[in-house]
Chains A and B, each alone.
Chain A
Amino acid sequence: MIYRGNRAAWAYIVARTKVMKSRLMKAEDFRKLLNMEFDEIVRYIGETEYKKEIDELGYKFTGPRLLDHALYANLARTYRKLIEVSFGASKFLITRYLEKWDVWNIINIIRGKMANVQPEVIEDVLVPAGERDLEFWKSLIVRDIEEIVKSFEGTPYYEPLSKVGSEDISKIEDELYKVYYRELLKLNPTDFAMKLFLDFIKMEIDIRNVKTLLRLKAEDATVEEIISCTIPGGYELTEEEIRKLAAMPIDEMIKSLEGYWFWDDVQIKGKSVATAEIEFDKVWINTISKRASNYPLSILPVLQYAVLKKVEVDNLRVLGWGKYYGLPNEEIERQMVIL
């Protein structure tokens, strides 16, 4: 079925995204990079889309840290470009989706402030890839925690943030992500574009929840602990389903996962949770690729690009740091999401 909504509105952003997507690295590029040394990888990346960031940050960082920061800076720049080139409904949805990076920045600033870390150090860990720009985050770093919390007054994040100091920070962090997804799910599926977007979000929640389920189950967490760390509103994994799965022994639970959309013949038995996470990421990417090609004039190709860009950045980082630490090629490849 092809989306028959306002096709012209989507055509522009999808065409822009398609061009950007064509510049993403292919599986064979990653395999070629796998056989290179660390310096060769940095040189290779420095001649690609990441040149600007590597040149800009070269004065401040060296070695793998330069690569790390350059990758995040490029990711932020790419996401901001996506917001800038989009308009109307697409701009609204992209901005809302990328708000997760705002959550990431809030968490890092609060963590840094609570640990009395220097503002410059906190600034290094910020990724201004969301709605708010670096200047906004920089202005927050120099303030104290109460002022930071107050600056979010009137936003949905204010409620969990107001508990800073009185509640465990880890719970607040999880709560912030829950608020992010809760707010996205509040969007009214008035048209088909919105429905596709909401399905995408719900599926992403499922992937995150299944990872959390496996991760906490492997650590013998209780049902309540697992429930408190999962995000409500999944596509197939409802709270009831998660509760049922969390109560099962791990082998039985893995068997019960087989019927869900994200299973797709995933082989996780006998593998570590980390490897299973990568398997689910692969399923997720394959699913959104299929859905994006089914609905070519919708938000899905844009979101697919956003996910693929993040995967590329993650893969390059694994390659860089893996090579820097002298990890074997097989181990590095195991940690990468190559399709």
Chain B
Amino acid sequence: MAEVQPTRMELIKLRRRIKMATRGHALLKMKRDGLIMEFRQLLEEAKEVIGGMVQKYEKAQSKLALAIAVDGIVAVRSIALSCCQMPPEFSMKRKNIMGVVVPVIKREPVRKKPTERGYGILSTSTRVDEAVEAYEELVDAVLEVAEIETTLRKLIEEIERTKRRVNALEYRVIPTMEELAKFISFKLEEMDRENIIRLKKLKMKKGKS
């Protein structure tokens, strides 16, 4: 505070900065509230998507259990060898939510016809089809969850960052600047009063002489 020159120019500059910081603070608060609202909406969606994924996982597990039970681990393992040659295809894009860049996973449909799955129809059974189909649905759900989870994580990070900025402005930057402005205006008033007294004293001396 001692380093600041208590001048009218400095006060004007400081007031401008306070005005800007207050406006920035209001904007950041709005951004934070907006992000929180967006986060809450996405959270509901994420709950649904994750719940769906868990259900699909359980279904896939029971279908796999049935396929293993009917066709045997030997057959299922052998079929898995042919299926694992075809990983799911997807591409990544970006989307902007209030300045936060989040990923958008463009998925190719994982669901394939039995004739396109990489294993022969004559050497497999319907239970294998059912298990593979259930896992195809699961892979789709996992990709959807991955997209929404990354978005949520990025939003949380941004909310945290914005919150820190809002708090810094609200409790540190703006109060300090206001304090400083108050100090400068007090100093200026003091200087004004000193000048008036000095002038008065000069006038009195002039009157006596």
A pairs with B:
yes
Residues of A whose CB lies within 8 Å of any CB of B are: 64-65, 68-69, 71-72, 103-104, 107-108, 111-112, 114-115, 117, 121, 124-125, 127, 168-174, 176-178, 208, 211-212, 215-216, 219-221, 225, 228-229, 231, 272-274, 277, 314, 317-318, 320-322, 325, 327, 331-332, 335
Question: Which B76-117 residues sit within 8 Å CB-CB of chain A?
Answer: 77-79, 81-82, 84-85, 113-115, 117
Contact check, B115 vs A173: say whether CB atoms are below 8 A apart: no
Q: How many residues of B contact A (CB 8 A)?
A: 32
Contact string, B116-131, partner A, CB cutoff 8 A, digits 1/0?
A: 0111111101110110
Smallest CB gap from A323: residue in B = B69
Which residues of chain B are near A228, meaning CB under 8 Å?
115
**Complexed CA–CA distance, A318 and B67 (Å):** 9
Contact check, B123 vs A177: say whether CB atoms are below 8 A apart: yes
26 A-B contact pairs sorted by A residue (CB < 8 Å): A68-B73, A68-B74, A103-B123, A115-B81, A115-B85, A124-B77, A125-B74, A127-B74, A168-B118, A173-B119, A174-B121, A174-B123, A177-B123, A208-B122, A212-B122, A216-B114, A216-B121, A219-B113, A221-B115, A225-B115, A274-B127, A322-B65, A325-B68, A325-B69, A331-B66, A335-B70
Which residues of chain B are near A221, meaning CB under 8 Å?
113-115
Once A64-B73, A335-B70 are accepted as A-B contacts, the answer to whether A104 and B129 lie under 8 Å apart by CB is no
CB distance from A338 to the nearest CB of B (A): 14
Once A114-B82, A273-B126 are accepted as A-B contacts, the answer to whether A69 and B119 lie under 8 Å apart by CB is no
CB distance from B80 to the nearest CB of A (A): 9
Report whether over half of chain A's contact residues are helix, strand or loop; otherwise say mixed.
helix
Top 3 A-B pairs ranked by shortest CB distance? A173-B120, A321-B69, A325-B65
Once A104-B123, A177-B123 are accepted as A-B contacts, the answer to whether A170 and B118 lie under 8 Å apart by CB is yes
Instruction: Verify if B72 is at the interface (C-beta below 8 Å from A).
Output: yes
Smallest CB gap from A332: residue in B = B69
Please indicate which of the listed interface residues B77, B79, B122 has the most CB atoms of chain A within 10 Å of its own CB. B122
User: Total A-B pairs in contact (CB under 8 Å)?
Assistant: 131
**Complexed CA–CA distance, A103 and B120 (Å):** 12
Partner of A170, one of B74, B81, B84, B119: B119
Contact check, A65 vs B73: say whether CB atoms are below 8 A apart: yes
**Complexed CA–CA distance, A33 and B60 (Å):** 26
Which residues of chain B are near A321, meaning CB under 8 Å?
65, 68-69, 72-73
Partner of B69, one of A169, A170, A327: A327
Partner of A219, one of B118, B127, B129: B129
**Complexed CA–CA distance, A69 and B181 (Å):** 85
Please indicate which of the listed interface residues A111, A121, A174 has the most CB atoms of chain B within 10 Å of its own CB. A111
CB distance from B134 to the nearest CB of A (A): 13
CB distance from A54 to the nearest CB of B (A): 15
Residues of B whose CB lies within 8 Å of any CB of A are: 62, 65-66, 68-70, 72-75, 77-79, 81-82, 84-85, 113-115, 117-123, 125-127, 129-130
Which residues of chain B are near A69, meaning CB under 8 Å?
74
Which residues of chain B are near A103, meaning CB under 8 Å?
123
Contact check, B65 vs A111: say whether CB atoms are below 8 A apart: no
**Complexed CA–CA distance, A71 and B72 (Å):** 10
Smallest CB gap from A68: residue in B = B73
Once A115-B84, A173-B120, A174-B121 are accepted as A-B contacts, the answer to whether A125 and B113 lie under 8 Å apart by CB is no
Which residues of chain A are near B65, meaning CB under 8 Å?
321-322, 325, 327
Please indicate which of the listed interface residues B72, B75, B123, B130 has the most CB atoms of chain A within 10 Å of its own CB. B72
Which residues of chain B are near A317, meaning CB under 8 Å?
69-70, 72
Which residues of chain A are near B113, meaning CB under 8 Å?
219-221, 225
Please indicate which of the listed interface residues A72, A115, A320 has the most CB atoms of chain B within 10 Å of its own CB. A115
Smallest CB gap from B75: residue in A = A125
Once A108-B78, A317-B72, A321-B69 are accepted as A-B contacts, the answer to whether A274 and B120 lie under 8 Å apart by CB is no
Once A108-B78, A124-B74, A317-B72 are accepted as A-B contacts, the answer to whether A174 and B122 lie under 8 Å apart by CB is yes
- Given A115-B85, A177-B122, 14 further pairs, Cβ under 8 A: A71-B72, A173-B123, A174-B120, A208-B122, A221-B115, A229-B115, A273-B126, A277-B125, A314-B70, A320-B69, A325-B65, A327-B62, A327-B66, A327-B69
Smallest CB gap from A103: residue in B = B123
CB distance from A136 to the nearest CB of B (A): 18
**Complexed CA–CA distance, A262 and B69 (Å):** 26
Contact check, A216 vs B126: say whether CB atoms are below 8 A apart: no
Smallest CB gap from A319: residue in B = B69
